Amino acid sequence: MDDQELKIALLTFSYPRFADDEASVFLKRLTDAFQIVGVGGIVVTPRDSSEPAVEEDGKFTLYRLNYTLLGRGRLAFGSGIMRNLKRNPLLAFQIPGLLFALIRCLVRFRKYYDVIQANWVVAALPATVVSWMTGKPFVLTLRGEDMHLLRLGLLRILLAPFVRKASRTITVNESFIPRVVQYFHLPPEKVITIPNGVSHKPVGDEAFEGYVKDYGLSNSTPYLLYLGRVIPLKRIELLLKLLTLRQFARYELLVVGRLDGSYHEFLKTKCEVFHVEKRVQFLGAVPPSHVSFFQQLARFYVSASSREGRPNGVLEALAAGTPALVSNISAHAEIVRDGVNGFLFKPENLESIAERIGEIDQSESEYGELCKGAQRSVLELSWDKTALTYRNIFLEVADAGLPR
């Protein structure tokens, strides 16, 4: 088919609701990049509250869907579907309405796309139904949270018939491929990795000083930065423990991201136990446009996460020239190289990373090389490149038609 005519339906359970919204902001960056490489179409997503039901965004039309008969749908957004269900199991009654709304919209507007891009494993279910009804093929993108869910054998069994109907299954992390192939008995050639792009817009001096003042921070303080969801699997208590080590005595920790109430209280208690409460700031969620400032301000980006998909926070920090100190998990190990753009550490041996940072802090030239290495390590990653790779897959899938 003519690639100038390529149209897709991006199916997602989360999408930015307004300018500078943090909800799945990476998908907005992807759709912006799609338009640059000649891809348009529709975005189909649940509606949260008062945002427009229909909105034009360049080559894409956004359809935000109500999925309850009475009141506001509370299944999507907030902490995400799975955490919302965990907190309030009665929200499960909204699942049929959500799936029906997504299917109905995709069938209704089938003339406006050639291929469905279904984001997250559960989206394979409505995508399969729509594909059967319309003859449109779909591509499934799996992310880190999906791989955690798929540890549940029953869920894999329930979703397997739908996942197998995807023309291609895309992962954001190379290490996911063997598990996806094993879980769903897929031909290896049908599963590929397309990493997310990296976004970093340098903050000018005047704006930088404004942010420093607005957030009550200091240019002279060496900061460790964690940026992301503040939930137990991120193991932020280990970052608090870092501050108790002699080599980190001059550092302060900035925790930026949506706060989980009970876990936040746990962390505040840990701060008191470790006697670091005056050296830790929980700043909550910030607008995406402020993220570059924090990445430039920090001396090191830190994460002790127990699992990740493709950690955008790490990648964006590296793009800002900020070295990363991160836990030695597969997702981090794909990105961070010891002594090149940061360091990997084992949670049970924080002293070793502390000793290394103590040495780095004695040599600004060595730190400078780390900063240069950080930027060099992500030069090849861009949203345009990600979008172009997706476009080639879409064209291939559209030409091939539905898989047999």
CA-to-CA distance for 131 and 102, rounded, in angstroms? Answer: 13
Distances in Å between the alpha carbon of 343 and those of 36, 84, 249, 303?
35, 34, 19, 11
What pLDDT score does 217 carry? 95
CA-to-CA distance for 109 and 107, rounded, in angstroms? Answer: 6
Decide if 54 contacts 63 (C-beta within 8 A).
yes
Which positions of the chain have pLDDT values less than 50?
3
Residue 89 C-beta-side C-alpha neighbours within 13 Å:
0
CA-to-CA distance for 35 and 73, rounded, in angstroms? Answer: 30
Decide if 28 contacts 16 (C-beta within 8 A).
yes
118 class by beta-carbon count within 10 Å (0-12 exposed, 13-18 middle, 19+ buried): buried
Question: 291-328, pLDDT tens digit by residue?
Answer: 999 999 999 999 999 988 888 899 999 999 999 999 99
What pLDDT score does 79 carry? 67
DSSP for 268-306 reads: HHHHHHHT-GGGEEEEE---GGGHHHHHHH-SEEEE--S
What pLDDT score does 260 carry? 75
Question: Which domains can be identified in the chain, with CATH numbers?
Answer: 3-197+382-400 (3.40.50.2000), 205-376 (3.40.50.2000)
CA-to-CA distance for 35 and 144, rounded, in angstroms? Answer: 26
CA-to-CA distance for 228 and 230, rounded, in angstroms? Answer: 6
Decide if 148 contacts 169 (C-beta within 8 A).
no
Region for 61 from its dihedrals, namely left if φ exceeds 0, alpha if ψ lies in -120 to 50, beta otherwise: beta
Tokens representing residue 112 in the block: 């406006």
Q: Beta-carbon neighbour count of residue 176 at 10 Å?
A: 25
According to the 3-state scheme, what is the secondary structure of 44-100?
EEECCCCCCCEEEECCEEEEEECCCCCCCCCCCCCCCHHHHHHHCHHHHHHHHHHHH
Decide if 172 contacts 141 (C-beta within 8 A).
yes
CA angle 25, 28, 30 (to 5 degrees): 110
Tabulate helix, strand, coil % of the chain (nearest 5). 50, 15, 35
CA-to-CA distance for 63 and 108, rounded, in angstroms? Answer: 11
- β-bridge partners, 284: 256
14 class by beta-carbon count within 10 Å (0-12 exposed, 13-18 middle, 19+ buried): buried
DSSP for 322-374 reads: --EEEE--HHHHTT--BTTTEEEE-GGGHHHHHHHHHHHTT-HHHHHHHHHHH
Q: Where are the beta strands (DSSP E) in 164-251?
A: 168-171, 191-193, 223-227
- β-bridge partners, 57: 60
pTM: 0.85
Distances in Å between the alpha carbon of 36 and those of 39, 199, 231, 278?
7, 15, 35, 46
Question: 138-186, pLDDT tens digit by residue?
Answer: 999 999 889 888 988 899 999 999 999 999 999 998 889 999 999 999 9
